[in-house]
Amino acid sequence: MKYYSTNHQAPDASLQEAVVKGLASDKGLYMPHVIKALPQSFYDNIENLSFQEIAYQVADAFFGEDVPADTLKQIVYDTLSFDVPAVKVKENIYSLELFHGPTLAFKDVGGRFMARLLGYFIKKEGQKQVNVLVATSGDTGSAVANGFLGVEGIHVYVLYPKGKVSEIQEKQFTTLGQNITAIEVDGTFDDCQALVKNAFMDAELNAHMKLTSANSINVARFLPQAFYYFYAYAQMKKAGKADNLVICVPSGNFGNITAGLFGKRMGLPVKRFIAANNQNDIFYQYLQTAKYNPRPSVATIANAMDVGDPSNFARVLALYENSHEAICAEISGATYTDEQIRETVKAAYQETGYLLDPHGACGYRALEEGLSEDEVGVFLETAHPAKFLDTVEAIIGDKVEIPAKLQEFMKGTKQSIEMPKDFESFKAYLLKE
């Protein structure tokens, strides 16, 4: 399948080119020319299929033309070695728990899939070394670093904003060593993302080393996130709750919700989506005004959503042919302050016993406030609450049990390279590598 750039100034690319390049030469994001609808028979029987079986069908629609069936099946099955259960929180509101993977965050799915697909392409091309640049506001770094750890022929550079990710998140990508380098940038997530984008556009750097990205700008990172929307629907259908299904997505860089919108375009019977923002509510404002006004991000307790210029907004526009009306017909928005997030975590815990992380809290509250009586809502619980230990414990006034996987990370020694936010410093560092 061919992929086009959202800026329409770069030549079409094959899947392999799109995955290895990450970003198109005109700074646009790659989009598939065709989004294949899945047959009705698939939806009729979906509740009887496993997560892996569902995901393989979806992956085949995206990647089947470009990757041999046995290879693709292996990639999917290896990626999804954990469950993503839909857990009832209260009547007609369910949590899709995306934190059962190795780093306890939703990005494990995309990170693990991309690592395996890129590894396949590198072997196929006979390349010696590909360098992955990834900016993170928290969970992307750990998911990508752990997904690529020890993968032959790939070196990962994780750029993250100094002092703006939780200690546990930081430990998950700064303690690994091997083929993972953590770069601590004196700035915001947007500064980290700008460094990555500028690196791709720099001719001297690209002549020096082979670069790609593992942010949700990469099609191999964001598209696999569609898998769990289909699985959520399957679980709700099995429970007899799939009619009038509303899915609420805590939204930062918008890769996650974009994958869900792709699912809907493929025939997934979701009535509508809600994009839940923290105070970085650029998309919410767009829905209200039809004007997109990016601005510097502000720090919140839902830090993985602290994005002031969401990269994947370009894909949302492309999907709906720049129609504000069409976007508003399928997506509504919500925005919450830190204080409202705290209120929600505390109230949900006291009323239901269910512990939300700050991002999931935005999703849960949006459903509480926005569901009609005949609708059932699923929100994405994007990371385990223990990843935000100090914040969550302070809110609920109680201890949070730290899963064994996280405890192991906490034992490691932090290794990072401090870096100013100017591109010349970053470029000079990479040229020495």
Residues known to be catalytic: 107
Q: Which of 120, 14, 114, 19 is nearest to 71 (CA)?
A: 120
> Rounded distance, CA 321 to CA 30, Å?
15
- Provide the strand spans (E) within 205-244: 211-213
> Rounded distance, CA 308 to CA 293, Å?
9
Q: Nearest 5°: phi and psi at 202?
A: -90, 115
Please give the DSSP secondary-structure letter assigned to residue 253: S
Largest CA distance in the chain: 60
Please give the DSSP secondary-structure letter assigned to residue 46: G
Please list the residues that pair with 158 across neighbouring strands: 134, 182
> Rounded distance, CA 323 to CA 171, Å?
42
Strands 93-97 and 86-90: antiparallel
Helix, coil or strand: residue 321:
coil
Q: Are 393 and 377 in contact (CB under 8 A)?
A: no
- Provide the strand spans (E) within 85-179: 86-90, 93-97, 130-135, 154-161
Please list the residues that pair with 95 across neighbouring strands: 87, 379
Non-local (6+) Cβ contacts of 299 within 8 A are 164, 188, 306
Non-local (6+) Cβ contacts of 415 within 8 A are 174, 175, 177, 182
Q: Are 431 and 208 in contact (CB under 8 A)?
A: yes
Tell me the two tokens of residue 180: 């993972």
